[in-house]
Amino acid sequence: MSGPGGVGKSRLAAEVADALRAEGWTAGFIRPNDPIVVPLRRSGLFLVVDYPEEHPDEVRTLLSEVASRELGDVPLRLLLLSRQGGDRWFEIAGSAHAAELMDAQEIGLTGLEAKPETVFSEVLRRLAQHYRRPMPEVSADAVHSWVALNPMLHGLPLLLTAAAIHAFLDLDAGLGLSGASIVQALADREQARLDNAGHAAGLGARGASRIVALAAVPGAVDADLLRQLADPAHEIGLPSPHQVVDAVRPLYLWRVDRVAAPEPDIVAAALLLKTLSERPDKAPQWLWLVIKDIVPLALIDRLGRLVSDTTILTNSPTPISCHLSRMIADDPDRAVSLAFLTAKDNLPLSLAGFAADVDQSLVNVRTENSVSL
């Protein structure tokens, strides 16, 4: 199932999983790069993979495993959610010898049919139920008026959800903020929550939120990358490299063997933008640390989404693009490692400017080398 960011792919998949669990299925989201053990119930197994383009090899292996399993009459369904459509998934399924199991046509999602006030009130209801608090009263007219301020942005299910969360947490503010401001307010809360826990664990005033924000670029920060980030020269404010893993491991943000990226994407983008903007002098260096070892396809997909989402939030050429440009300008040799961006077909439009910077830097490097010869 494909569709633009915030249109409701993950929400729809979660609703399907909820419905199937009620019917006795094992159903939910998985990360294809993490080892998992799930119970197999007679009713069926339903697995959802969000953004499979980040892990094409792991998805290929997963498809191959599915195709080779003898599960008798137990239904098994695998749903891939992506911002990218086209033939790439059918090619991966073919190479995994699972093409005969793949639907002949993808589902393109452009929006949910639910009325804005329905989405909004359902989020409030679930939050009230979860926190055992009264459900705030927000009229349908108020929701419609807010959506009308910026239908393209405020009408997205993701932004309606974010607005409802914000209204639940801060009823006095209600719907008085723009969608971008609401997402930024959520990112501010997340930063404060992370840093409160991180400070108690000895990660400094901003260490925890900086780790999580930077994890948005590669998708996760493992122990090796965490030690690199802890180098005092980078001024992230973490304990020494030989102490940082032990400091982070007891915290809730450590999952299995890494610090995972924040979710959803648009909040991750807002948190990353805030983190980089607080230290513009170090932002290019921090970005290079988390970019330099990423698999090319994963980098293109994750960075493309982050830049696109921050453009939505700022309604202008994203500051993240400026930090990326400075990253190359500070050390043109970095462009050599990123040369694949200039040859990639169907590069996300959000990365076009960055790819042009890489290409220009490569030209300059080649020219300098030719002159020196």
Same domain, yes or no: 212 and 342: yes
Same domain, yes or no: 160 and 63: no
Same domain, yes or no: 294 and 155: no
Q: What angle do CA 282, 303, 347 make, to 5 degrees?
A: 135
Per the structure, how many domains does the chain have? 3
Q: Give the pair of three-digit tokens for residue 89.
A: 């998934």
Same domain, yes or no: 168 and 189: no
pLDDT at 370 (0 to 100): 57
238 domain residue, yes or no: yes
Same domain, yes or no: 249 and 312: yes
Its pTM stands at 0.72
What is the dihedral sign for C-alpha 301, 81, 255, 320? positive
Sheet holding 220-222, edge to edge: 220-222, 258-260, 254-255
108 domain residue, yes or no: no
SS3 260: strand
Same domain, yes or no: 208 and 326: yes
Residues making up the chain, counted from first to last: 373
Same domain, yes or no: 171 and 241: no
4 domain residue, yes or no: no
- In degrees and rounded to multiples of 5, residue 45 shows phi and psi of -130, 125
pLDDT at 206 (0 to 100): 93
1 domain residue, yes or no: no
Q: Give the pair of three-digit tokens for residue 82.
A: 């992506």
What is the C-alpha to C-alpha distance for residues 225 and 202, in angstroms, rounded to an integer?
A: 18
User: DSSP of 146-209, one letter per residue?
Assistant: HHHHSHHHHTSHHHHHHHHHHHHH-TTTTT-S-HHHHHHHHHHHHHHHHHHHHHHTT-TTTHHH
Same domain, yes or no: 220 and 262: yes
279 domain residue, yes or no: yes
Residue numbers of the domain that contains 66: 9-101
Nearest to 181 by CA among 197, 163, 199: 163
Same domain, yes or no: 194 and 172: no
Same domain, yes or no: 236 and 341: yes
CB–CB of 196/207 below 8 Å?
no
Same domain, yes or no: 129 and 272: no
Average pLDDT of adjacent 10-residue blocks, the chain of 373 residues = 78 91 92 75 88 78 79 81 71 78 72 80 93 91 91 83 87 78 86 89 91 94 95 94 92 84 86 94 96 86 88 76 92 91 82 91 75 52
Q: Which residues of 113-135 are buried (b: 16+ CB within 10 A; e: fewer)?
A: eeebbebbbebbeebeeeeeeee
Of 157, 177, 197, the residue that ends a domain is: 177
106 domain residue, yes or no: no
Element (H, E) at 221: strand 220-222
pLDDT at 82 (0 to 100): 82
Same domain, yes or no: 277 and 362: yes
